[in-house]
């Protein structure tokens, strides 16, 4: 049995998106478009051999972005454009599938990303003995028929009532023929393929599914779908390196602490080499340039500026991305001054700016054994690393 899937993603879905926004099948949940989740469910199913997607021509770019994940590449055939109704879109998708001569096709809504492997398998199994089979959920609520005035007219017996979902699987030749006949006969009013199959006299078996496979229709559905996937974080690191040379003076600023010394560091700001390296490390975690991008050295307003301001700005940028600083680590390279006596004060100063505890702030120092410019006491070098946690959900996710 050559088994294919047809994913219907051409709808405009205005209820869950809105003006200027992409249709709901391209909204992000868990950091990925809804459609990507849906396609993955079929791509990873061992019995599905090819996947045809039907898209709206306006969504070409969004579609291209939704299918970049490698696990989708093997089974996806080039997408085709849909028609003005869902029914027309399915027919166009079926016609495109003709060239690969499938024996059965599973037609599925792009906006049902939580379809599970077991339901797909059960629909396929049912098709071994029936020309049609659909996922459906038994009706659990008591059903009321209403009067025009909004009163209960009667209670509907819910035994044997099901809510149709997708996938809806059919013998390929039979459903293609039914679609072509419906189109020729001017019938464009079928809301799902099972209704069209019913009209065409194709027997359709019900496969029990659950509410988990429900369709994302509204903004609330989207929010629920995102929360179902749970918080999705990713960890990022950034590094920084800086050097400042000594000049005449009586103190240096290192990691936010003023230390008496027989020289000072030269620079436009307070020349705090440790905080400069750390600022770059934080900016590095979000790909946001470096300290010079944000505070150009040629700009006189940064002259004599406390470098804690630069660090606070970088921390703010990370926070604007929804990021949380996990830890930072700085190594100072110099012969003097000695760093050890000031370590706790440095941790406290950085803790104050970043809002993380001193146990998350590494301050280390090393000499370079008298070698190089630091060994010759011409200046101080600093390296830093920062680790942050960023949400992979919502604006900016996975960018």
Provide the binding-site residues for Mg ion, judged by CB under 5 A: 242, 276
Whole-number CA gyration radius for the chain: 31
Min dist CB 244 to Mg ion, Å, is 6
Closer residue to Mg ion, CB minimum distance, 59 or 242: 242
CA dihedral 345, 349, 355, 357 (to 10 degrees): -10
* DSSP conformation letters of 208-268: E--GGG----SHHHHHHHHHHT---EEEEEEEEEEEEEEEE-SEEEETTEEEE-SEEE-SS
Min dist CB 254 to Mg ion, Å, is 12
Min dist CB 271 to Mg ion, Å, is 7
Do the Cβ atoms of 310 and 301 come closer than 8 Å?
no
Min dist CB 297 to Mg ion, Å, is 8
Do the Cβ atoms of 253 and 270 come closer than 8 Å?
yes
DSSP annotation of 73 reads T
Identify which of 124, 86, 109, 112 has the alpha carbon closest to the alpha carbon of residue 6.
109
Q: Which residues pair with 7 in a beta bridge?
A: 53, 108
Identify which of 160, 162, 76, 168 has the alpha carbon closest to the alpha carbon of residue 122.
168
Tell me how far apart the alpha carbons of residues 213 and 173 are, in angstroms, rounded to a whole number. Answer: 27
Three-class SS state of 9: strand
Closer residue to Mg ion, CB minimum distance, 109 or 242: 242
Min dist CB 275 to Mg ion, Å, is 9
**End-to-end CA distance of the chain, in Å?**
41
Closer residue to Mg ion, CB minimum distance, 52 or 279: 279
Residue 170: both structure tokens together: 């059919």
Min dist CB 268 to Mg ion, Å, is 8
Residue 109: both structure tokens together: 């809504």
State the residue for tokens 């606070």: 312
Closer residue to Mg ion, CB minimum distance, 193 or 242: 242
Tell me how far apart the alpha carbons of residues 370 and 89 are, in angstroms, rounded to a whole number. Answer: 75
How far is C-alpha 24 from the geometric centre of its chain's CA atoms?
A: 14
Which residue's Cβ lies closest to Mg ion?
Answer: 276
Min dist CB 67 to Mg ion, Å, is 44
Cα separation values, 218 from 16, 17, 179, 192, 228, Å = 4, 8, 29, 19, 15
Min dist CB 341 to Mg ion, Å, is 23
Q: Which residues contact 112 (CB under 8 A, 6 or more apart)?
A: 38, 165, 166, 213, 214, 215, 216
Closer residue to Mg ion, CB minimum distance, 240 or 337: 240
Closer residue to Mg ion, CB minimum distance, 32 or 242: 242
Closer residue to Mg ion, CB minimum distance, 91 or 276: 276
Closer residue to Mg ion, CB minimum distance, 132 or 379: 379
Do the Cβ atoms of 17 and 27 come closer than 8 Å?
yes
Min dist CB 320 to Mg ion, Å, is 23
Min dist CB 359 to Mg ion, Å, is 27
Do the Cβ atoms of 341 and 347 come closer than 8 Å?
no
Closer residue to Mg ion, CB minimum distance, 170 or 302: 302
Closer residue to Mg ion, CB minimum distance, 101 or 266: 266
Tell me how far apart the alpha carbons of residues 4 and 54 are, in angstroms, rounded to a whole number. Answer: 13
């Amino acid at each position: 049995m050559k088994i294919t899937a047809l994913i219907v993603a051409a709808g405009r879905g205005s209820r869950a998106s809105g003006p200027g926004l992409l249709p709901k099948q391209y909204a992000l949940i868990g950091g990925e478009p809804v459609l990507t989740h849906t396609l993955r469910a079929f791509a990873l199913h061992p019995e599905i051999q090819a996947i045809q997607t039907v898209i709206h021509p306006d969504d070409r770019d969004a579609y291209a972005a939704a299918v970049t994940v490698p696990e989708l590449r093997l089974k996806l055939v080039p997408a085709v454009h849909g028609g003005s109704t869902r029914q027309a879109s399915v027919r166009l998708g079926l016609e495109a599938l003709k060239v690969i001569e499938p024996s059965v096709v599973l037609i599925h809504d792009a906006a049902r990303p939580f379809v599970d492997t077991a339901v797909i398998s059960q629909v396929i199994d049912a098709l071994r003995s029936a020309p049609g089979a659909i996922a459906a959920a038994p009706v659990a609520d008591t059903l009321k028929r209403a009067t025009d005035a909004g009163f209960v007219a009667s209670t509907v017996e819910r035994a044997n009532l099901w809510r149709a979902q997708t996938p809806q699987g059919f013998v390929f030749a039979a459903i293609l023929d039914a679609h072509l006949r419906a189109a020729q006969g001017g019938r464009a009013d079928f809301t799902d393929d099972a209704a069209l199959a019913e009209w065409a006299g194709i027997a359709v078996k019900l496969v029990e599914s659950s509410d988990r496979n429900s369709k994302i229709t509204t903004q609330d559905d989207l929010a629920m779908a995102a929360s179902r996937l749970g918080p999705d974080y990713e960890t990022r690191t950034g590094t920084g390196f800086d050097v400042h040379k000594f000049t005449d003076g009586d103190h240096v600023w290192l990691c936010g602490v003023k230390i008496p010394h027989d020289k000072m560091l030269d620079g436009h700001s307070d020349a705090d080499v440790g905080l400069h390296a750390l600022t770059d490390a934080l900016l590095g975690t979000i790909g946001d340039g470096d300290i010079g991008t944000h505070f150009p050295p040629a700009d006189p307003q940064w002259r004599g500026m406390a470098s804690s301001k630069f660090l606070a700005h970088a921390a703010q940028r990370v926070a604007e991305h929804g990021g949380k600083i996990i830890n930072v680590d700085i190594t100072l390279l110099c012969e003097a001054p000695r760093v050890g006596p000031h370590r706790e004060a440095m941790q406290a100063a950085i803790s104050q700016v970043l809002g993380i505890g001193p146990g998350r702030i590494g301050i280390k120092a090393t000499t370079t054994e008298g070698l190089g410019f630091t060994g010759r006491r011409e200046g101080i070098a600093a390296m830093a690393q920062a680790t942050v946690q960023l949400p992979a959900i919502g604006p900016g996710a996975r960018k």
